[in-house]
Amino acid sequence: MTRWGMAIDLDRCTGCEACVVACAAENNIQTVGEEQAREGRAMHWLRIERYYEGEFPNVRTRFMPVLCQQCGAAPCEPVCPVYATYRNPEGLNAMVYSRCIGTRFCANNCPYTVRVFNWFDAEFPAPLDSQLNPDVSVRPGGVMEKCTFCVQRIQAGKDEAAQEDREVADGDIRTACQQSCPTKAITFGDLEDPDSGVSKWAESPRAFSLLGDLDTRPGVVYLSGSEWREPAE
Amino acid sequence: MSGNESKRGEPRVTIGRRDFFKVYAAAGVAVLQGCRRRDEEWIESPARRSTALPGASVWRRSICGQCGAGCEIEVRTVDRLAKKIEGLPSGFVNAGGVCALGHSALQELYHPDRVTEPMRRGASGELEPVSWEEALESAATAIMAAPEATTVVSGAPSGPLLGLWRRLAAVVGAPPPVHWQSADLVVEREAARLTFGEACRPAYDMARADYVLSIGAPFLDGWRSAAHFAGAWAELTADRRGKLVQVEARHSLTAANADDWLPVRPGSEGFFARGLAGLLLGSGTVGEEERAAYEMLFPEAPPDLTATAERCGIDASRIERLAAELARSRRPLVMVGGSALDGENGVAAGAAALALNLLLGAVGREGGVFAGVDFGFEDRLAGDADAAVSPAALADRLDGAGESSVLVVSEADPLHGMPGFEAAFEGAGTVIALSAFFDDTALRADVVLPIQTDLERFQAVEPDPVRGMPALLIASPTVAPRGEARHPGDVALALAAAAGSALPWPGFQEAVEASLSDVFTATRADAEDAGALPESLIAGALNARQFVRRTTDAGGLVGTAGMRRAPVRSAQVDGDGAPAGLPDPASMPAPAAPAGVESFTLIPFESVKSGDGRGANRPWLQELPDPLSTVMWGSWAEVATEDADRLGIHTGDIVRLTGTAVEIDLPVIVLPTVRPGCVGVPVGGGYADYGRYARGRGVNVNVLLDANRRVAGVGAFAQSGVRVRVERLRRPRRSERPVIYGRGLRQAEEIPVGWAPHDGGKA
């Protein structure tokens, strides 16, 4: 059985945010405008956390892309009164938009704060709507949404493999954020396949889980921790 | 499947692999959509049928035009509408990467406030729709009435389109056009000329270096090509093989990612480079030849460590450590750009920094610095026309030109970006703007001519020579143009025709093809023609027409000879044969702060969320948190914690920045990563219009710049080093509060819950 997962090498992430815009373009994520953004209602499915270390002038900044961790034991799922969010057989923490009634319990229970709520219907003034991805639904007001690991790309990858009468190969499916990354800091694939790129990254001694103490069993792996060492003479 | 459509992942087609050049086939398949000749229609027709399948995705190769880098992209189209931009994995410059600004080109294309029809200011004083013929006639009449008083401003990157504007200016009798470009490009070329003897943009082989010292070059922030340098940086630092040290007053995105950041005082970058040279010369690792080459350029003794540390405001031990590590590295490299070149001493600082490569033996060596070269298609299209001049010449030219003067502005917004230009603009007679939006210049123009955006137009560009190899990239339009928008090159040709000085081509595409044809003919006639193409490539084509078709089908041409060693300047280049040293930044006085008033050094910067302001009209980018301040929507001022404590300023307060005669009010963000005494403000705010997402949002920091401050030696505007006063005005009203994403920049120790080893994702 497949378990879709992602690995992000923080030592390669520059915080350029190309992935954030790529995600918005791929997934029809609405922009809410200055006033709503000021109220904390921006809708990004993927955000870049940034932290600084040290004190001026010996200061350094670290970046960390944070998205839905597609938890194996997702705190968001059991609190939904209408089962709008559930864990699918391939490890995706999925959303059924038409079932969601907007209680926002799931967002309240997500320790990663990666779920966002449509306080209003999305607006894409014509002809901005010409850009909308036909493979992704535009969510109505009152509905919760979050990263799907670009499930439409997963489906397209499966369809293509099926048409060619073969299995999905590692690297066939690339999420929008992964594809856009100029430093190749993101990899995606099947965590159950020991030969997949994401599995190998996950085995790195630099790998860790975000808020791992919570034992949410995330499908997202982070790598970090190496420092430059001057080569020996 | 048509020319620039492809099934994703197909290998690129190459034609002629031998010798010096090869035809460059990007994304694999032919670029045929733009073919107009009758005998090629059979190729085009099936494509129409294939793309007509409803709901089917078709990926088309294109070239991003959001900056001058020339990144190649793939555009997903469905039902003839562009849906998504991705980097072309085989892209010559970007190798699959694309930045936030590049992604947002879709929102430029489909912006609800695009200018899609020609407009002319009527009797009421308002812009009114007119036909293209009427608009062109108005523009041509004004130009013909005063050709010598006509100034053309082009924002096109160096390449064929700029060459066409040069040609237009020449044929109508106007002086050479103004090339609207970042000031540091002019400075960079001059610094390279002084150091290496060749006016070029240096090409840095960062990926193969093992120690990179970047003096001011914000290469991860968008300088030259963010996508290219991000990839090179990733290779440099893969497995922590190499180290990056950033020397820059501002904690830019590049500085944030550097292994070491040395926040020198603004304007002291050149002094720093000279002081570092002194340490390297004293390290015993510099060869005699390298020492002689360097001392020919800088015969004076470099400043000592103590003086360097004091002038630059950096702890001496950090400079010493840097010099020692550089001296021990196998393939060190020194880059220069950005703020180091933007000050009044920019040329001297640039030359001093580049010359460090001489000491380190990095000129023309793997992992070193090379001469960035191009094919020269700009000159080919320009013919005998004079070279374009830098933006600083614009104000001088318009000053007192009178009401008969004419300003033709294409893809540029000097009214927004040029300090002190307002008065000169007011005095101009007729302003003709070629723009896709009502930016500040177009909003007040007399004639507005709508132009196509990147994805709508035929493209032929020479990319930034970051790889050191020349290239001409060609792409057909990806989608149909909106409304009546036209290619700016086509408009230039139409203007020339309307002014009675028609050029021999009906459109820009034909001009480029004619230029390629000339190359073929010239090479056939003279195999020794150094600027033309090699026999091996030419021999593959039966005639010029076939050669042009093969080249456009393949997506352009690229040089494959590898990076070219930059020549080292000889002492005799200055004419009289006597050895001549370069301007020495170490002998220049430190910038003086005004007496009696506490002032800050203003650092205008380009955030990845808006570039030079071009991205300010896109909702994706407005709502994108700045990578460091985390601010969305609008402008802000970055102030150091130490300064804020002293002045009683808190994040969110409204502060007033006062320059020579102008003041701006904006919210402040207090950051621990700002050098005390500096205040950073992003460019790209305060547009009068520019569409609903940019209109009236933020402030334009360019108004604080001093038009009289110029970079010595080249006359470009000096953007760095302006002194401003900072004072707290008040707490913000609700609508003035900066929109800060999440909790902003936080100290790492404040992370509430610790990180834990990954469990392999097993449920």
What count of residues does chain A have?
Answer: 233
What pLDDT shows up at residue A107?
96
Tell whether B361 is within 8 A of chain A (Cβ): no
Residue B735 sits in a domain whose CATH number is 2.40.40.20
Name the amino acid, one letter, at B59.
W
What pLDDT shows up at residue B228?
96
Number of domains making up chain B: 3
Q: Which residue has the tokens 């907007």?
A: A102
What pLDDT shows up at residue B597?
67
The reply to whether B92 and B234 lie within a common domain is no
Q: Does B760 reside within a domain?
A: no
Question: Mean pLDDT, to the nearest integer, of B418-446?
Answer: 92
Q: pLDDT tens for residues B529-538?
A: 444 455 556 5
Residue B266 sits in a domain whose CATH number is 3.40.228.10
CB nearest to A59's CB, from B226, B482, B672? B672
Q: pLDDT tens for residues B641-653?
A: 999 999 999 999 9
Give the gap in angstroms from C-alpha A181 to the nearest C-alpha of chain B. 6
Q: Does B12 reside within a domain?
A: yes
What pLDDT shows up at residue B589?
79
**Would you call B112 and A127 a contact, using CB atoms and an 8 Å cutoff?**
yes
Q: pLDDT tens for residues B606-643?
A: 999 988 999 999 999 999 999 999 999 999 999 999 99
Domain ranges of chain A: 4-223
B40, pLDDT greater than 80: no
**Would you call B97 and A182 a contact, using CB atoms and an 8 Å cutoff?**
yes
Pairing label, strands B663-671, B637-640? parallel
Of the residues B564, B591, B610, the one at which a domain ends: B564
Provide the pLDDT confidence category of residue B323 given band limits of 50, 70 and 90.
Answer: very high
Nearest to B430 by CA among B411, B408, B413: B408
Q: How far is CA B108 from CA A33, B412, B452, in A?
A: 17, 15, 10
Which residues on A lie below 8 Å from B262 (Cβ)? 57
Q: pLDDT tens for residues B442-496?
A: 999 999 999 999 999 999 999 999 988 889 999 999 999 999 999 999 999 999 9
Q: Does B574 reside within a domain?
A: no
Under 8 Å CB-to-CB from B400, ≥6 apart: which residues?
Answer: B427
**Would you call B624 and A21 a contact, using CB atoms and an 8 Å cutoff?**
yes
The reply to whether B645 and B537 lie within a common domain is no
**Residue B291 main-chain phi, psi, to 5 deg:** -60, -45
The DSSP secondary structure of chain A, one letter per residue, reads ---EEEEEETTT-----HHHHHHHHHTTPPP--HHHHHTT----SSEEEEEEEEETTEEEEEEEEE-----TT-TTSTT-TT--EEE-TTS-EEE-TTT-----HHHHH-TT---EE-SS----TTTGGGG--TTSPPPPTT-EE---SSHHHHHHHHHHHHHTTSPPPTTS---HHHHH-TT--EEEEETT-TTSHHHHHHTSTTEEETTGGG----SEEEE------PPP-
**DSSP label at B727?**
E
**Would you call A56 and B620 a contact, using CB atoms and an 8 Å cutoff?**
no
Give the gap in angstroms from C-alpha A54 to the nearest C-alpha of chain B. 8
The reply to whether B619 and B542 lie within a common domain is no
B591 vs A37, more confident: A37
- Distance between CA atoms of residues B353 and A43, nearest Å: 44
Under 8 Å CB-to-CB from B528, ≥6 apart: which residues?
Answer: none
* Residue ranges making up the domain that contains B677: 600-749
Which residues on A lie below 8 Å from B87 (Cβ)? 179-180, 182
Provide the pLDDT confidence category of residue B554 given band limits of 50, 70 and 90.
Answer: confident
Give the gap in angstroms from C-alpha B229 to the nearest C-alpha of chain A. 9
Least confident of B137-146, B508-517, B630-639, B730-739: B730-739
B677, pLDDT greater than 60: yes
Question: Mean pLDDT, to the nearest integer, of A206-222?
Answer: 93
B177, pLDDT greater than 60: yes
Residue B82 sits in a domain whose CATH number is 2.20.25.90
Q: Is the ipTM of this complex over 0.90?
A: yes
Residue burial B495-518, b: 16+ Cβ < 10 Å; e: rest: bbebbebebebebbbbbbbbbbbe
The reply to whether B634 and B518 lie within a common domain is no
Tell whether B328 is within 8 A of chain A (Cβ): yes
Tell whether B207 is within 8 A of chain A (Cβ): no
Q: Which residue has the tokens 């005494």?
A: B677
The reply to whether B556 and B606 lie within a common domain is no
Q: Does B160 reside within a domain?
A: no
Q: How far is CA B661 from CA B396, B658, B664, B682, in A?
A: 20, 7, 11, 20
B6, pLDDT greater than 80: no
Provide the pLDDT confidence category of residue B603 given band limits of 50, 70 and 90.
Answer: very high
**Would you call B762 and A191 a contact, using CB atoms and an 8 Å cutoff?**
yes
Of the residues B338, B371, B404, the one at which a domain ends: B371
Residue ranges of alpha helices (H) inside B339-479 are 339-342, 346-359, 377-382, 392-398, 414-417, 422-427, 440-443
**Would you call B100 and A73 a contact, using CB atoms and an 8 Å cutoff?**
no
Asked if B410 and B488 touch (Cβ cutoff 8 Å), the reply is yes
The reply to whether B256 and B307 lie within a common domain is yes
B4 vs A58, more confident: A58
Q: Does B355 reside within a domain?
A: yes
**Model's pTM, two decimal places?**
0.91
Least confident of A33-47, B39-53, B693-707: B39-53
The reply to whether B712 and B618 lie within a common domain is yes
What pLDDT shows up at residue B572?
38
Q: What percent of chain A has pLDDT over 70?
A: 98
Q: Does B288 reside within a domain?
A: yes
What pLDDT shows up at residue B564?
67
B577 vs B558, more confident: B558
Fold of A4-223: Alpha-Beta Plaits (3.30.70)
Provide the pLDDT confidence category of residue B173 given band limits of 50, 70 and 90.
Answer: very high
Question: Mean pLDDT, to the nearest integer, of B121-148?
Answer: 95
- Distance between CA atoms of residues A7 and A69, nearest Å: 10
Asked if B122 and B60 touch (Cβ cutoff 8 Å), the reply is no
Under 8 Å CB-to-CB from B734, ≥6 apart: which residues?
Answer: none
The reply to whether B554 and B612 lie within a common domain is no
Which residues on B lie below 8 Å from A110 (Cβ)? none
Least confident of B195-209, B265-279, B474-488, B521-535: B521-535
In chain B, the residue whose alpha carbon lies closest to the alpha carbon of A27 is B84
Of the residues B350, B371, B392, the one at which a domain ends: B371
Which residues on B lie below 8 Å from A130 (Cβ)? 81-82, 110
Q: pLDDT tens for residues B71-121?
A: 999 999 999 999 999 999 999 999 999 999 999 999 999 999 999 999 999
CB nearest to B231's CB, from A20, A182, A191? A182
What pLDDT shows up at residue B558?
81
Q: Is residue B532 within a helix (H) or strand (E), and if so which, with residue range?
A: none
**Would you call B239 and A14 a contact, using CB atoms and an 8 Å cutoff?**
no
Give the gap in angstroms from C-alpha B506 to the nearest C-alpha of chain A. 31
B49, pLDDT greater than 60: no
Tell whether B623 is within 8 A of chain A (Cβ): yes
What pLDDT shows up at residue B539?
59
CB nearest to B234's CB, from A12, A25, A219? A12
B641 C-beta neighbours (distance < 10 Å), count: 17
Question: Mean pLDDT, to the nearest integer, of B158-173?
Answer: 95
Q: Does B613 reside within a domain?
A: yes
What pLDDT shows up at residue B668?
96
Provide the pLDDT confidence category of residue A142 given band limits of 50, 70 and 90.
Answer: very high
Q: Does B696 reside within a domain?
A: yes
B567 vs B260, more confident: B260
Give the gap in angstroms from C-alpha A80 to the nearest C-alpha of chain B. 20
Q: Which residue has the tokens 């812009």?
A: B127
Pairing label, strands B600-605, B678-682? parallel
Name the token pair of B142: 């004004």
